[in-house]
Chain A
C-alpha cells in the first residue's frame, strides 16, 4: 500500500471559509540503491495483488448471461418496458387523459382517446415507441391514475426498429373504476373493444402524430405478422 504516514492535514482559510486540506504526497526515493530496491518491491507488491485474484477462482465476478437467467435478479424498479397496470380482470386505469403524452420529453408516447358510450373520454390506443424512449420514468411519475408502470422485462431486442412500437392497452374502453359501476359481466365485455398489441411493422404515422386525435381511425395492423418482414 502506498505510504500514508507522511500525509499531513492542514487548516486553511479560503474565501472566508475554514477548511481542512490534505496535501498530496510526492513519490520519493532517497538513494540509488533504495530506488532500485523500492522499485523492485513495488513491482513485486503489484504482482502479489494480481496473483491473489489469480489464485482464487472464487473472486471471479463474470456472470454468464443466458445461462444465469434463472437466478438473475433484476431490481423491481428497473426500467425496461412501459406497461399499463392490469388487475386480475384484465382492466386498467388509463383514462386517456394525455398527461403522460404531454409530459414525455421526446414524444415517445402517443395517447389516442375517444368518446365512450357514456360520453366520457376513454382510451382508444396507447402507443409507446420504445425506439425513441429514454426511460426517464416521467410518464409513470406524472400519471394521476397510477395506470402506468415500468416492467423488468429487459430482453426486448429485435432486428427491426419498427417492431419497437408497442400498443399498451389490450382493450379500448372504460377504466377499472368505471367498470366497477357496471354490474353485468356481459356489459363489461361488450364495452371492451379488443386492441391487440402491435407485434408487426407499424405505420410510424400512428406514433409520430400524423393520425392522432379522436375519431381518426387507424387500420389495425393485424394483417401483418413478424414473418412478413
Chain B
C-alpha cells in the first residue's frame, strides 16, 4: 500500500487528518480531541489493524508553545507503518492515555511524563520512570536548566 492509498484510507476513518510533509513513514496529524477515537478505529478496522504501538514520544516546540506527541503504529497484518502526530498546549499539557488500546502505552507514556511532564488522563499508574520521584523539572523540555548542564562551546 502506498502512502497515498493509506492516507486516503485514513481520511475515510476521519476526515480531519492532515498529512505532514516530508516524513517517513507517512505521518498524519490529528487534533488531540479526536485522537483516542481515531486510534481506536485504526486499531480495530480490518483493513488497517494497527495492532502494535511501536513507539510514543513527544517533542517540545517552545516557540510555538506546543508539545507534539507522536505515536508510531505498525500493522503486522498489512505491513503498514504510520506516525500519528498531535499537538497539545504547553501550558496545560494534558493528553488522554492510550493504555487501554495498547498496554505498552502505559510505560511509554510514563517515559514521556517523566521527561516532558505531559499528564495522561486515565493513566493507571502515572509515575516517574527514569528519574527519582522527587526530581524537579522535566529534562527533555527545551527550556530545562540544570546545575550539571554545561554550556555548549561555540
Contacts and interface: CB of A to CB of B under 8 A. Distances in A.
Whether the complex brings A and B within 8 Å at their CB atoms is answered yes
Interface of A: 14-17, 107, 209
A200 B153 CA distance: 26
Nearest to A17: B79
A16 B153 contact: no
Nearest to B152: A107
Given A107-B153, A209-B153, A16 B78 contact: yes
Interface of B: 75-79, 153
Nearest to B78: A15
A16 B49 CA distance: 14
Greatest chain A CB density within 10 A among B76, B79, B153 is at B153
A16 B153 CA distance: 50
Contacts of B153: 107, 209
B154 to A, nearest CB: 10
Contacts of A17: 79
B76 A14 contact: yes
A107 B153 CA distance: 9
Nearest to B151: A209
Contacts of A15: 75-79
B28 to A, nearest CB: 20
Contacts of A16: 78-79
Contacts of A107: 153
Nearest to B75: A15
B77 to A, nearest CB: 6
Contacts of B79: 14-17
A14 B52 CA distance: 15
A17 B77 CA distance: 10
A14 B153 CA distance: 50
